[in-house]
């Protein structure tokens, strides 16, 4: 793809992750090498239990790998068996946007506030945060539901609000775990087109776990995970 000559936004090599000890040990990720560049939308495919979510968690600095090397946006964040950044949460706030299979919106905030919260957390003042949040909802065509609480939104609306939230701080890396699972195929297509637009316009790298064969054609790359091992 383009930009291959610049540094990748996600660069991991030799990443391992196991759960448990001894006989019950599960090798969720084995010696994973993966690069994702700005503007790329890549899919992560694999049977259940193959380690897809675990891989997203590791890239999102939510779970600590067991050895390997990882750099995000040019910064080495994990090497020699330890994190090199002390404040992983601030790193997430700044660089990473998450989209989950289930929207994970905060139930006690309306759509608009769910989005403006991350902007406020990033230090924007209230008015600016709300303004930008509203723009994002408009961009995702859910602005008419800005005052609704998550419980009152349809699956597709909630997912679009969640995407708006993931995009709010202009993250360089967007990690999506089955973002279209709760949507019909038409909506799924729209969401994927939208992610592609974001990747191109904002020069972001998007890594999405999916089972959805209908949208395979919308990815630049498809990686297959099987028993914790990756092949292209």
Interacting residues with ligand ATP (CB under 6 A): 19-20, 26, 28, 46, 48-54
Report the nearest approach of another protein to the CB of residue 74 (Å): 19
The piece of 12-20, 75-83, 114-122, 213-221 that touches another protein (CB under 8 A) is 114-122
Three-state DSSP class for 184? coil
Contacts of 21 (CB under 8 A, 6+ apart): none
CB of 174 within 8 A of CB of 191? no
- Which of the listed partners (another protein, Mg ion, ligand ATP, none) does 179 bind, with a CB threshold of 5 to 8 Å by partner kind? none
Radius of gyration of the chain (CA): 17
- Residue identified by tokens 């006690």 is 108
- Which of the listed partners (another protein, Mg ion, ligand ATP, none) does 94 bind, with a CB threshold of 5 to 8 Å by partner kind? another protein
Stretch 49-108 residues interacting with another protein (CB under 8 A): 53, 56-57, 60, 62-63, 89-94, 96, 98, 100-102, 104-108
According to the 3-state scheme, what is the secondary structure of 10-70?
Answer: EEEEEEEEEECCHHHCEEEEEEEEEEECCCCEEEEECCCCCCHHHHHHHHCCCCCCCCCEE
- Which of the listed partners (ligand ATP, Mg ion, another protein, none) does 49 bind, with a CB threshold of 5 to 8 Å by partner kind? ligand ATP
State the residues that interact with Mg ion by CB under 5 A.
53
Report the nearest approach of Mg ion to the CB of residue 100 (Å): 10
Alpha helices in 83-154 (DSSP H): 88-95, 111-121, 126-139
Cβ proximity to another protein, 87 vs 186, nearer residue? 87
Q: Token digits for 127?
A: 């008015």
CB of 64 within 8 A of CB of 83? yes
- Which of the listed partners (ligand ATP, another protein, Mg ion, none) does 150 bind, with a CB threshold of 5 to 8 Å by partner kind? none
CA angle, residues 208, 210, 216, in degrees to nearest 5:
90
Cβ proximity to Mg ion, 102 vs 108, nearer residue? 102
Report the nearest approach of another protein to the CB of residue 98 (Å): 6
Contacts with another protein by CB under 8 A lie at 53, 56-57, 60, 62-63, 89-94, 96, 98, 100-102, 104-109, 113, 116-118, 120-122, 126, 149, 165, 177-178
């Amino acid at each position: 793809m383009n930009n291959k000559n610049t540094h990748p936004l996600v660069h991991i090599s030799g990443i391992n992750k196991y759960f448990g000890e001894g006989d019950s040990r599960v090798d969720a990720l084995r010696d994973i090498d993966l690069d994702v560049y700005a503007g790329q939308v890549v899919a992560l495919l694999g049977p259940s239990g193959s380690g897809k979510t675990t891989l997203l968690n590791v890239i999102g600095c939510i779970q600590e790998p067991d050895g390997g090397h990882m750099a995000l946006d040019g910064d080495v964040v994990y090497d020699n068996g330890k994190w090199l950044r002390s404040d992983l949460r601030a790193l997430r706030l700044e660089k990473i946007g998450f989209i989950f299979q289930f929207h994970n919106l905060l139930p006690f905030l309306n759509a608009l506030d769910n989005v403006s919260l991350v902007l406020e957390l990033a230090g924007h003042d209230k008015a600016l945060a709300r303004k930008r949040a509203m723009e994002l909802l408009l961009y995702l065509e859910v602005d008419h539901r800005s005052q609704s609480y998550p419980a009152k939104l349809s699956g597709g609306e909630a997912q679009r609000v969640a995407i708006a939230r993931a995009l709010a701080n202009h993250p360089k890396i967007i990690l999506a775990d089955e973002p279209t699972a709760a949507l019909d195929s038409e909506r799924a297509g729209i969401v994927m087109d939208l992610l592609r637009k974001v990747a191109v316009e904002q020069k972001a790298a998007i890594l999405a776990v999916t089972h959805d064969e209908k949208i395979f054609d919308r990815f630049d790359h498809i990686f297959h995970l099987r028993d914790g091992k990756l092949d292209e």
